[in-house]
Amino acid sequence: MIKEDQTRWLWYPGDFEIRQGLLQNFSREERSYDWPAYWNMDDCHKNVKFKRYYDLADETSFVVHAVGIGYAEVNGKKYPFGEKIHCASGKNKVRVFVGNTEGLPAMYIEGEVIKSDIGWAASNFIEELPAGWSALYLTQDRDPNKVYFATETVQAVSVAECQGGVLIDYGRAIFGTIAIKKLNTAKPVTICYGESDAEALDIEMCYYKEENAVADTVPRKRAFRYLFIPELTPEQVEIDAIHEFIPLENQASFHSDNALMNKIWDISVETFTLCSGLFFLDGIKRDRWIWSGDAYQSYFINQYLFFDEDINTRTMLALRGQNEIKQHMNTIVDYSILWIIAVENHYMMSGNVEFLKQIYPKMKSLMDYLMAQTDELGFIYGREKDWIFIDWSEMDKDGTLAAEQVLLLKAYNAMIVCGSIVGENTAEYSQKYTVLEKNLMTYFWDEEKGAFIDSYQSGNRHVTRHANIFAVLFDFVDETKADKILKNVLLNDEITQITTPYFKYYEQDALCKLGQTQTVYQIICDYWGGMVEQNAVTFWEEYIPEETGNDVYEMYGDPFGKSLCHAWGASPIYLIGRYFAGISPTSPGYATFLIEPQLACFSELESTFPVKNGSVTLKKNKDQLIVRSTKEGGTLKLNGEAFELAANQEYTFELANELAENLS
């Protein structure tokens, strides 16, 4: 826990995240050229004013450091940065002005009393808000315009002759650079990178290639498992991989009697850890961009693995940018909507009212942007240059799309919930919610099909899984409609199957919510287990079981276009924690929380999952379940009964006899 009087770098709130988000989205490289994100990107403010009032009992002194140009001011008198400033006792008004045309304006004040801690306001000369800061930048030597990665040296697990060259396998996915320890050749070499051996061996089509490399070459940060160096022998070369990462603490564990599920868990953790750094990234090789849809799922996975609130808020702030909106998030309408829904979910996880107060104005302006493109029935539609995505699946997108309307309905609900917490008037959202809910059911619910159709305007009455899944997840259907969706859509093989782990996440979430945990257990074993059988060390962007050979790496018309380490592939972490362990908050910040385990698929299991400021451990051995929570407020629901759990107390339940015994 960082104390309020801890000195830290300060900036205008959100600017650090916006600046670093810009740099992250400009980091993509593909086949020897750079590919900046193809949507509008905001940057940080270039001049910022910091202000604080002090009533000093004694005189004191301080020194202001800054990234940028400017000056400090005490009671109207100006001082240069780096000079010791003496401040008399009594009332003092301290201001610091920082401008930086090259990056983030930030300031750091050394002092016993006057220092850059909690309590400073920052202004962009239009709005004044509590100054922003990050736990990653608490010391003067940590320039907040730079990212400081931890590193791990990884040695090759195999070095072999192959196709007239050397193929190096590190046995795991690397996100970093390389250190050439030996290169016995008179001429420069070409180093080909690959997430797969097939990619590394394809000198022409591999995504990354370091040409004209010599012994002291240090390439840029890239993602890879394999390296291939043509026209060399194993005796001529030795290269270490230098993996770079932002340390995040894994607070969860899982082990069961099912070896495949244990492997799926471990690979999910590896996948998600690799895609989690300063922000949640979609994947580490191809895009390395911050996508709102990918991030939405990452927030939930994070809740059951790291429970790191800061990476959530950094990602949300980077995605949203400055308050003025010129374009949908990543150009995708549903991604803008998911961002709003995610803020409510983060509040439920964290209970952080201060962050909600900071972000709510940007929720409002984004909601205004969304409402401006709704029709007379309240349905949102795509405009020119908007992307109506939802998923890589064939849908009837003639006119307004049902899945978008379900998301918009949930966004109205999120605005009502969050607005009421920060004291805003939410009457407009309530009115629009009522209209949209009525029209959604009138125009998109098809009673004969027992499901939502994609489009009412086309007349095709085409059903896909997506709108139906969202309606279940967001509790927009009663029990009767939910049963119909389960039968007619989710368990109906005639409805087009989902092929991306992205929407597999939502589908399994909905199935679990409808009591189908045993079905989901088998799907996890079959779908994610299918990637395990393909010797995956991380989970992929897409998996189609029928694909074989090098076809498994193709996507977007590119032979190696598929990301083999994609954040949304890690959703078994969430599914196991949320539904099999059954842990969920019932009030913000886990002030109260529910444990409703569904463990019939396991004979033996031991798992621990984080909750806010605590953890829950479950141990099952055949017909016996042991439960322990380190935090007050937990309720266990088991065998139709509810048990209030005291903190740090172990409880044993005999599952067969539905009895509970307090082992104090």
Q: 356 with 505, same domain? A: no
Query: pTM here?
Result: 0.96
User: Among 533, 535, 527, 610, which residue's Cα sits nearest to residue 569?
Assistant: 527
Provide CB contacts within 8 A for 123, sequence distance 6+: 12, 48, 49, 50, 51, 129
Question: pLDDT tens, 283-307?
Answer: 999 999 999 999 999 999 999 999 9
Tokens read off for 393: 């699946």
Rounded Cα distance between 123 and 131, Å, is: 8
Counts of helices then strands in the chain (DSSP H, E): 15, 30
Question: Are β-strands 659-662 and 165-183 bridged in parallel, bridged antiparallel, or unpaired?
Answer: unpaired
Residue 313 lies in a domain: no
**Inter-CA distances, 357 with 16, 180, 418, Å:** 18, 50, 9
Q: 434 with 488, same domain? A: yes
Q: 423 with 384, same domain? A: yes
Residue 252 lies in a domain: no
- HSE (CB half, 13 Å, CA atoms) of 117? 15
Tally of CB atoms within 10 A around 205: 16
Domain boundary among 478, 496, 514: 496
Residue 383 lies in a domain: yes
Q: 200 with 236, same domain? A: yes
pLDDT value of position 656: 61
Tokens read off for 556: 């977007």
Q: 40 with 71, same domain? A: yes
pLDDT value of position 659: 37
Q: 56 has which bridge partners?
A: 90
Q: 472 with 534, same domain? A: no
Tokens read off for 473: 């997840």
**Inter-CA distances, 169 with 152, 233, 492, 519, Å:** 16, 15, 42, 36
- Return the beta strands (E) in 397-483 as ranges: 445-446, 451-452
Q: Percentage helix, strand, coil, to 5, in the chain?
A: 30, 30, 40
Signed CA dihedral, 456, 460, 466, 472: sign only: positive
Residue 484 lies in a domain: yes
Q: 46 with 121, same domain? A: yes
Residue 2 lies in a domain: no
Q: Kindly report the backbone phi and psi dihedral angles of residue 489, in degrees, each rounded to the nearest multiple of 5, phi listed first.
A: -125, -65
Looking up residue 238, the CATH number of its domain turns out to be 2.60.120.260
Q: How many residues does the chain have?
A: 664
pLDDT value of position 660: 40
Residue 538 lies in a domain: yes
Cβ atoms of residues 570 and 558 within 8 Å: no
Cβ atoms of residues 380 and 405 within 8 Å: yes
Rounded Cα distance between 406 and 36, Å, is: 32
H/E stretch holding 123 = strand 121-123
Rounded Cα distance between 190 and 208, Å, is: 11
Signed CA dihedral, 178, 179, 182, 186: sign only: positive
User: Among 18, 7, 287, which residue's Cα sits nearest to residue 120?
Assistant: 7
Rounded Cα distance between 473 and 251, Å, is: 26
Provide CB contacts within 8 A for 644, sequence distance 6+: 634, 635
Rounded Cα distance between 145 and 134, Å, is: 12
User: Among 315, 299, 248, which residue's Cα sits nearest to residue 20?
Assistant: 315
Residue 307 lies in a domain: no
Query: Using the 8-state DSSP alphabet, how is residue 496 labeled?
Result: P
Rounded Cα distance between 486 and 474, Å, is: 15
Rounded Cα distance between 619 and 305, Å, is: 18
Q: 370 with 449, same domain? A: yes
Query: Using the 8-state DSSP alphabet, how is residue 497 labeled?
Result: P
State the Cα torsion 369-372-378-382 to the nearest 10°.
-80
State the Cα torsion 631-637-643-646 to the nearest 10°.
-10
Q: 161 with 125, same domain? A: no
Looking up residue 382, the CATH number of its domain turns out to be 1.50.10.10
Rounded Cα distance between 513 and 490, Å, is: 12
Rounded Cα distance between 304 and 347, Å, is: 15
Give residue 522's domain range. Answer: 270-302+498-579
Rounded Cα distance between 384 and 3, Å, is: 49
Looking up residue 656, the CATH number of its domain turns out to be 2.60.420
- Cβ-in-10-Å burial (0-12, 13-18, 19+) of 572 comes to buried
Q: 452 with 395, same domain? A: yes
Domain boundary among 448, 469, 496: 496
Can you tell me which residue has the tokens 């797969």? 196
pLDDT value of position 655: 87
- Positions in the chain whose pLDDT score sits under 50: 657-664
pLDDT value of position 662: 35
Q: 415 with 490, same domain? A: yes
Domain boundary among 130, 161, 194: 130
Q: Please tell me the total count of domains within the chain.
A: 5
Residue 310 lies in a domain: no
pLDDT value of position 501: 83
- Cβ-in-10-Å burial (0-12, 13-18, 19+) of 648 comes to exposed
Q: 565 with 511, same domain? A: yes
Tokens read off for 411: 């966004």
